[in-house]
Structure 1
Amino acid sequence: MWALGTWVLLGAVCAGSAQLQFNVTKSVEQTACNKTVILPCIVTNLIKNNIQVIFVKWKLEKKAFFIFEGSTGKINRNESFSSAALESPQNLTSGIASLTISKTQAVRGNYSCEVTESSREGETVIELIYHRVPWFTPVENILIILSMVLAILFYWIQLAVTVSKFETTLLKIGLFIAGVVITISAVVGFSLLISDDFKPENQIGLGLIVLPAVILVPCQYFLLQIVYENNLLFAIGVVILESLGYLIAVIGFGLCITACRPKNGAVVIAGLAIMALIALVGLIYAILSGYSKKEQPPRKAVEEPLNAKVTGESDRICYRGGDM
């Protein structure tokens, strides 16, 4: 009885030792930001650690596309997976048979890694899934769009206040055209920026939002100059602050444009927020200046009674001179 139990136990141990074991990874995520995809395959119980007796086969949906023969060092690849390569050939004797594939050739599905060491073999399955990742986070997208919308909205209100309270000039027509240009550019940029997955169009959209915003800087100066010509120092100060906001936004754009997952979105938001805040200051100033100017009596209306009084006095003097 004891002999039978010992034989069964030894048989189970021998059977277990004939099976290669792996660090199990159920799935790997691929995103638009990945340049390559690494499919992990790590054997934990190699014994001989000799590349001459190791054989590796990778399959997609049970169809082999990559084969490595340790005895000859030969690699066979399917043409559809020409970029496939062992991640670390020198560590293959340590059990690392992970595979790298370019993102353009990495097809979603179930990949299996089959490793053989002499008469011992084993297999593990990894699912490659695609995970959509937006360029900016939803909160960052909202803040970028909101800051730019406010900057443009305050500009249009300020332009409306200026036109309604002061004489129309060719300059105001130019300011109107500039407002149309920046508004259209921003709307197109908004539509390209928002996406569930990163695309090159996202970068173009951010460029259409940030770069044309420079139009708001000189426009703000001309609007303030029209409102109150004698206080150019205030207008210059506002333009300097708005230029600073634009510079910060452009720096943020430069830091984000080269990154698939930008980490400097806050810089862009800060720059656009400063521009929106300065546009609000300009709007408030335009409204207050408009009201103060409206309360003052018209200069022509004041001058006419004075001229009439002076003329009357002159006529009276001339008349008295004639009597004498």
Structure 2
Amino acid sequence: MWTLVTTLLLSSLCCGSAQILFKNIESVTVTGCEKNVVIPCHATNMEPEALGDVYLIWFFGKTLILSFDGSKNKYSRNPAFQSGRISTSAFLKGDASLTLNKNEAKAGNYTCAVTELSREGKQTVELKNNHRTSWFPLSENILIIVFPFLTLLLFWAQFAVLMQKYKSNLVNKKMMILSTSGLLFTMVVIVGAFLFIPGNYSKKKSYGLILLVTPSVIPVFLQYRKFMPAIGRTLYAMIMLTVIQALGFALIMVGSFITVNECAPKYGYLLVSGLIIVTLVELLGFIYMKWLDPLIGFE
């Protein structure tokens, strides 16, 4: 009886030791932002004494990607997966993860088959592609484009109030400053919007983002000019609008700095919040100028 039990236990231990075990990783997802894709394969009970004790094969479905013979320290690759590689030093510690160029990494099942002397094991990991169709999420993309144009429209609306209601002359120095600044504002925002057309991250789009949002500083600097010469009557309104709008622009700069070089921005809401604040302040300035203080004008 004991002999039978002992035999069964030894048989169980033998079979268990002959099997290479792996970390439980069923799938990985790539976004397209990575230059290289790493498909994990982590053996948990490998104890090779030398590289010559191990052998590895990677498959995509039933197609061979590469094989690595530790005894010869040599790769054999499929021409369709020329970028495929592993870290031999990591492999000795059980990490047989496959690195591929993102152009060669296709969605599907990848299998690593590891052999260590007389032991072997294999694991299959699914690679899922989550292709980004836009640098920023769609809602943020729309807001980032829309609010600079709304700010621009409100800027020109204030300019029109000063021109029509108070019969200001374009030759007037203050009006020249406003009109020139407005034209610069308009041109830069249009160029920025053209470069920022929704799509995947690129250097061109990062330049477009900068051109699109940084001109929002222009209305901040022009609050004083827009409310002169009635500065005595509108001092508190001008100070309040300038401070709030400056805080909004600070958020724009922080958001831009954090996100401009990120393939998958996480803090786009900071940028959007700043744009919203700048636009709302410009709207409040328009309302105040047109209806709340009819004495604002230019000499």
Same fold (TM over 0.5): yes
> SS in structure 2 opposite 1:126?
strand
More helix by share: 1
1:271 partner letter: G
Q: 2:36 maps to which residue?
A: 36
1:37 partner letter: V
Q: 2:278 maps to which residue?
A: 275
Greater shift, 212-221 or 104-113, is seen at: 212-221
Deviations 1:105-129 (A, max 9, x none): 4333322211112233222222222
The 3 A distance-change label for structure 1 pair 194 and 124 is farther
The 3 A distance-change label for structure 1 pair 293 and 136 is closer
> SS in structure 2 opposite 1:282?
helix
Q: 2:151 maps to which residue?
A: 151
The 3 A distance-change label for structure 1 pair 287 and 121 is same
Give 1:202-213 correspondences, 5 Å limit.
202-213=205-216
Conserved? CA contact 2:223–2:238, under 8 Å: no
Q: 2:257 maps to which residue?
A: 254
Q: 1:321 maps to which residue?
A: none
CA distance in 2, matches of 1:236, 1:51: 74
The 3 A distance-change label for structure 1 pair 245 and 97 is same
The alignment status of 1:286 with 2:285, answered yes or no, reads no
CA distance in 2, matches of 1:158, 1:37: 52
Conserved? CA contact 1:145–1:190, under 8 Å: yes
Identical aligned residues as a percent: 35
The 3 A distance-change label for structure 1 pair 199 and 110 is farther
> SS in structure 2 opposite 1:52?
helix
| 1:33 Cα offset (Å) | 2.5
Conserved? CA contact 2:47–2:93, under 8 Å: no
The 3 A distance-change label for structure 1 pair 121 and 289 is closer
Q: 2:84 maps to which residue?
A: 84
Q: Aligned pair count?
A: 292
| 1:137 Cα offset (Å) | 4.2
| 1:92 Cα offset (Å) | 2.3
1:211 partner letter: T
Q: 2:99 maps to which residue?
A: 100
The alignment status of 1:125 with 2:124, answered yes or no, reads yes
Q: 2:54 maps to which residue?
A: 54
The 3 A distance-change label for structure 1 pair 11 and 247 is closer
> SS in structure 1 opposite 2:92?
helix
The 3 A distance-change label for structure 1 pair 115 and 170 is same
| 1:193 Cα offset (Å) | 4.9
The 3 A distance-change label for structure 1 pair 293 and 236 is closer
CA distance in 1, matches of 2:47, 2:182: 74
| 1:55 Cα offset (Å) | 0.4
| 1:141 Cα offset (Å) | 4.1
Conserved? CA contact 1:256–1:263, under 8 Å: yes
Q: 1:115 maps to which residue?
A: 114
TM-score (norm 1): 0.69
> SS in structure 2 opposite 1:43?
coil
| 1:186 Cα offset (Å) | 4.2
| 1:63 Cα offset (Å) | 2.3
Deviations 1:263-305 (A, max 9, x none): 44344234323422432342133214663479xxxxxxxxxxx
Q: Which runs of no fewer than 5 residues in structure 1 stay unpaired? A: 295-324
The structure that has the greater radius of gyration is: 1
CA distance in 1, matches of 2:166, 2:67: 80
Conserved? CA contact 2:59–2:111, under 8 Å: yes
| 1:206 Cα offset (Å) | 1.8
CA distance in 1, matches of 2:216, 2:296: 30
TM-score (norm 2): 0.74
CA distance in 1, matches of 2:254, 2:176: 31
Superposed structure 1 runs of 4+ greater than 6 Å apart:
1-13, 229-232
Q: Which runs of no fewer than 5 residues in structure 2 stay unpaired? A: none
Greater shift, 8-17 or 45-54, is seen at: 8-17
CA distance in 2, matches of 1:74, 1:246: 57
Conserved? CA contact 2:48–2:54, under 8 Å: no
| 1:29 Cα offset (Å) | 0.8
